Amino acid sequence: MAGDGSFEGTAAWLRGQWSNPGDIFTILLLIGGDIVQTAIAQLCAGPVPGLTPVSFSFGWVTYAVSAMLSAVGNNRLMPSPEVDCIIINAKSGFARTNYSWILSRMLRDFDHWRPALCDRLEQEKLNELREINRSSAKPRDEDEIRVALRVSVWECNSATGRGSGDVIYWIGLFVTAVQFGIAAIPWGLYGEWYTFFVIGAGTALAYAGGALPQWWDEKVGIRKLKYTDTTKERKDVFLTEGNGSHDAILILGCEGGLDLEALAASQRELRSPWTTRVLSFTLAICWIALLISVSGWEQHTWYVLAAGMLGLVHNVIVAGVPRQPQAFGIDLVHRETIVEGKVMQVLRLVEESHPRAGAALLEIFFPGKLFPREQLMWEYAERRAEAWKENSKKVGHVARTEAWPMPPLQSPLPKKDGKKDDSDIPESGPYTYDGGPSNWDSRPQAVLGASRPSKDHVVTVE
């Protein structure tokens, strides 16, 4: 075979292919459509309306065709949530499956954006539990000692849905500028302007695809909570993966912000679906035309490949990089982290600080039958929450650590006839208020008897 020169011909072809790649660019344009879709989902609804700086890269042709099919079919542009999770109304306890890509991504990236304090508190509690285990009569293996559930509480300062504009957002403009710089090199050196034209046309189509109004509608186009002089609406919600998960995020809803419970809904009204269909079809045709135009192009193709590869790297980073909630237009401030060795104890502590919130998680983490004392405790918690609501209307919120403590999980009373005595949990009540901001009487109603304050300062919920 070497005598007829076929090997030398192959080597020459290989040298030519590496010095000036041919049809490989056409093939690469078809790879990575899902990356492009996720990158757009990350950057759309940013600080500049209509500007989604997703750079031109390989995969745009495939994405444009799939977007056209999706617009004609289920009429959706946003990708599906990456993490299966649920959102729970902290007041009503109503739970629904989350279909919001934003909330799913926030939960996925929680390890990135939570403060170090959360991990430190968990480690301190774990050390405490292990120390208690060592001093017990029958210590367990230390690997079995763990924090059962971590509930982090966040105050929502604002929830506009308009991203704050972080480095990940703005760097897209820089990448686009570098791509144009690369494409200008063969024009300046050899007078070959076609490379610049390809990059320019691809960039224009990429930015046009990310500017479709439906991206905003699907991502954050929902109702906002009413906040006026007469109506101050708020919603507290949990975000968690459900029973067995390690984390539950309690977001104390901000007045006038996005309704996060509505954000998790599966369907929402779109302003102009037919406009999206027409524009998606037009963009797909333009991308196919660009693909045909560059197929077989053999002049200075390394510059086109370099610009496309830079865009691909940028889009991969954008699609996968963790971001702060502010990048999605949800500004959260950490308030507290609640951790314990037992899930029921965590729910009790959550309920003590945020009435009805702990009970909202009860059916998720304990769908079965409760122990008798637990049943009494949560029945009391319901009365306590109602009394708290009524008293708050009269005297305002006071320090919740001083008011109406929840009963402990284990009865502090000695057993009666060999049975547990749960009489420390009152059958009515829960507690009374005697007129001062720090004068909450923490004795059960059953014990107070005739010493109760006047009815003007008492709310008793049967």
Tell me if 181 sits within 8 A of 195, measured CB to CB.
Answer: no
Tally Cβ neighbours within 10 Å of residue 332. 23
Contacts of 304 (CB under 8 A, 6+ apart): 25, 183, 195, 198, 199, 294, 297
Q: Residue 1's pLDDT is what?
A: 47
Q: Residue 16's pLDDT is what?
A: 63
Query: Residue ranges of the alpha helices (H) in 29-100?
Result: 33-43, 60-72
How far CA 262 is from CA of 235, 296, 326, in Å, comes to 10, 50, 19
Rounded CA-CA distance 154/335 in Å is: 5
Residue type, 15: R
Q: How far is CA 150 from the centre of its chain?
A: 17
Q: How far is CA 183 from the centre of its chain?
A: 38
| pLDDT, block means (10 residues), the chain with 462 residues | 58 63 64 91 96 93 92 89 96 96 97 96 95 90 92 95 94 98 96 94 97 94 84 90 96 89 85 90 94 81 89 95 96 96 96 94 95 93 83 50 72 83 76 43 34 32 39
Per-residue b/e over 43-55, b at no fewer than 16 CB within 10 Å?
bbbbeeeebbbbb
CA nearest 170: which of 64, 55, 57?
Answer: 55
- List the chain domain ranges: 18-81+166-222+268-323, 370-462
Q: Residue 74's pLDDT is what?
A: 84
First-to-last alpha carbon distance for the chain, in angstroms, is: 98
Per-residue b/e over 289-322, b at no fewer than 16 CB within 10 Å?
ebbeebeebeebbbbbbbbbebbbebbbebbeee
DSSP string, 152-184: EEEEEEEE-S-----HHHHHHHHHHHHHHHHHH
Residue 404 φ/ψ, nearest 5 degrees? 50, 65
- Strand 149-159 versus strand 432-433 pairing type: unpaired
Residue type, 111: D
Q: Residue 323's pLDDT is what?
A: 97
Residue type, 128: E
CA nearest 176: which of 201, 194, 203?
Answer: 203
Tell me if 276 sits within 8 A of 212, measured CB to CB.
Answer: yes
Q: Residue 451's pLDDT is what?
A: 27
Q: Residue 391's pLDDT is what?
A: 67
Tell me if 153 sits within 8 A of 336, measured CB to CB.
Answer: yes
Burial of 270 (0-12, 13-18, 19+ CB in 10 A): middle
